[in-house]
Amino acid sequence: MPTYRDEGIILRTFNLGEADRIVTILTRSHGKVRAVAKGVRRTASKFGSRLEPFMVTDVQFYQGRSSLDTIQQAETLGPYGADIAGHYDRFTAASVMAETAERLTDAEKATNQYTLLLGALRSLSRGEHAPHLTLDSYLMRAFSLAGWSPSLDTCSRCGSPEDLTAFVVHFGGMVCATCAPPGSARVGSDTVEIFEALLTGQWDFLESVDRRHLARVSSLISAHTQWHLERALKSLEHVAR
C-alpha cells in the first residue's frame, strides 16, 4: 500500500502554483517529510489551516512515484499555531526552533527530536515560560540530542576541568585559562550554571537569574547554533556532491 499515516509538526510551508502548498513536516516515525497538499489554497478550506506552521497534525500521506509525497488527509492534534502566531516573541522563538529542527533532521526516524520540539511548542503556546527561555532550553537540548552540546565542565581544547574561564564557539565550548586565545569572551561558573539549568529545565532558577546574565548566555547559544548549523549545511552540501 503506497499510503502511510503518521503524526507530525508542520515546520515550513511554501506555495506552489495557483492552489497547492508544499509542506515540510517533522513526523514522529518517518523523520522529516516534504509533501504536497493539493488544492488547499483554492478555498478557505479547513484542510489548509491544519497545515500551517507549528500545528501538530495527524496526516495520511500517499507515496507516489515523484520525490514528493502527497497529503491525503490531515486532522489537527495540537492547534498550537494560532496561540504562537498571535504573539510576536512566541512566533520568533518558534520560527528558530522549527528551522533548527529542520536542519538537524533528515528522512531518518528522529523521535527524540520530534518529542522535544512537540514539548517546546506546546509550552510556548501555553505561555508557560518566557519565550526566550523556552527557545534557549530547546536549542541546548536539540544540540545535545544531535551530539553537539557545548563542552561545559572540561576545557574543549585540552580536557582539563580546572580554571575554565572563557567560552569559545569554534572550539566547542568552555576553555581553560591556558587554552583561551587572547581577547576571548570571559565567562565564569555562573554562566555554566545557566547553561546547565537550560539543559535540565530548572525554570524557577532561570526565572530568578539577572536578565543581563541570561542575555549573555543567549548570545553564546545563538553563536553556537549558527556555527553548528552552518557546518551541518556544508557537510550536507558535501554529501550531495
**Which residues contribute to the site for Zn ion (CB under 5 A)?**
155, 157-158, 160, 176, 179
Cell numbers for 219, please give them. Answer: 548570545
Please identify, using beta-carbon distances, which residue of 112 and 178 lies nearer to Zn ion. Answer: 178
- Rounded CA separation 71/59 (Å): 7
Shortest reach from residue 191's CB to Zn ion, in Å? 17
Please identify, using beta-carbon distances, which residue of 70 and 151 lies nearer to Zn ion. Answer: 151
Cell numbers for 193, please give them. Answer: 550554571
Please identify, using beta-carbon distances, which residue of 189 and 226 lies nearer to Zn ion. Answer: 189
Cell numbers for 1, please give them. Answer: 500500500
Name every residue whose Cβ is closer than 8 Å to that of residue 171 and which is 6 or more positions away in sequence: 156, 157, 179
Shortest reach from residue 171's CB to Zn ion, in Å? 9
Shortest reach from residue 195's CB to Zn ion, in Å? 18
Shortest reach from residue 164's CB to Zn ion, in Å? 8
Please identify, using beta-carbon distances, which residue of 110 and 179 lies nearer to Zn ion. Answer: 179
First and final C-alpha spacing in the chain:
33
- Rounded CA separation 113/143 (Å): 10
